Amino acid sequence: MSDLYRTVRLIRRFEERAIEFVRSGEIVGGIHPYIGQEAIAAGVCAALTDTDVITSTHRGHGHVLARGVDPARLLAELMGRESGLNRGRGGSMHAADFGLGILGANAIVGAAGSIATGAAWAHRRLGRDTVAATFFGDGAMNEGMLLEAFNLAALWQVPVVFVCENNGYATTMPVASAVAGSITARAEAFGIPAVTVDGQDPEKVLEASRVAVERARSGQGPTFLECTTYRFDAHHTFEHRARLTYRSIEEISAGRSRDPVEIQGARLAAEDRATVDAEVEALLDAAAVIALGSAHPDPAAALEYLYASPEVLR
């Protein structure tokens, strides 16, 4: 119970601090905040083991943090610093840590589903019981590569858990204007069991994820989880300046009424919650010091890490 709260609280405060660094100019180009959707990352990743893998999206900070990455390294990556997860070369939308089973966030909508399916299939071919969990938004349900991943995962009984974070919008387009029929029915059409989960409640997400992960690990193939949620903040921090009006104040207020941090926090004693909050703040204070103190990459090394060969083209 406290572990789930710690995760959702860490994600929330990390994202709020990251937005501050966008405003100060320390993070260039902006981010896609995960605020409001924390329960999904926390619940799914809590159901995984150390040997499992995940793939993520352009809105991937929450998944990466829930998987156990060092916040200092993630923050440094967002700032483009050498101590970052990917030496400052990946940035917000491409964070990866293979050592933790994070095969990468991905800015291409729906692409991470194919990568996760391939990774899970490869591990199974090698005789491992590794499960892959892949996150994507409702907008990805119209991408052909994701549907192809459903097809192969079902045909080959691949141990993958497909997690649709349905926050109601593909950027600014309402899901009702973009997705015909039922989201879960699309997975079911491939013979994949699909359930809709309350994506604002970490414990409900964890419960559903445990069933899906165990099913995959036991050789029964993929499961599709539609986690209904609501994005409290902007699609991208650019909106803070552009002031887009595709959502009403009333809608946002209603969406915020079911806050994953408050839902899980209410399950803890007040003193326990205060202790976790203080620990998270101290952790993020230290992360900020480390990230801000890290060097920027040398422009002369811009081509390093681009090729499998150690030779660099000049």
pLDDT of residue 27: 96
The angle that helices 202-217 and 2-24 make with each other, rounded to 10 degrees, is 110
d(CA 10, CA 287): 12
Q: Cα dist. 91→95, 111, 231 in Å? A: 6, 18, 21
Please provide the size of the chain in residues: 314
Taking alpha carbons only, the member of 37, 59, 39 closest to residue 47 is 39
d(CA 104, CA 83): 17
Residue tagged 């309350």 (tokens): 198
Tell me, what amino acid is at 239? E
Q: Is 33 helix (H, G, I), strand (E, B) or coil?
A: coil
Q: How many CB atoms lie within 10 A of CB 89?
A: 17
pLDDT of residue 305: 82
What lies within 8 Å, CB to CB, of 130 at 6+ separation is 51, 52, 53, 119, 120, 123, 124, 159
Taking alpha carbons only, the member of 289, 266, 258, 254 closest to residue 75 is 289
Characterise 195 by phi-psi region: left (phi > 0), alpha (psi -120 to 50), beta (else): beta
pLDDT of residue 302: 84
Q: How many CB atoms lie within 10 A of CB 242?
A: 10
Structure tokens at 238: 């650019």
d(CA 97, CA 105): 10
pLDDT of residue 103: 96
Question: What parts of the chain have a pLDDT lower than 50?
Answer: 313-314
Burial of 229 (0-12, 13-18, 19+ CB in 10 A): buried
What lies within 8 Å, CB to CB, of 29 at 6+ separation is 91, 92
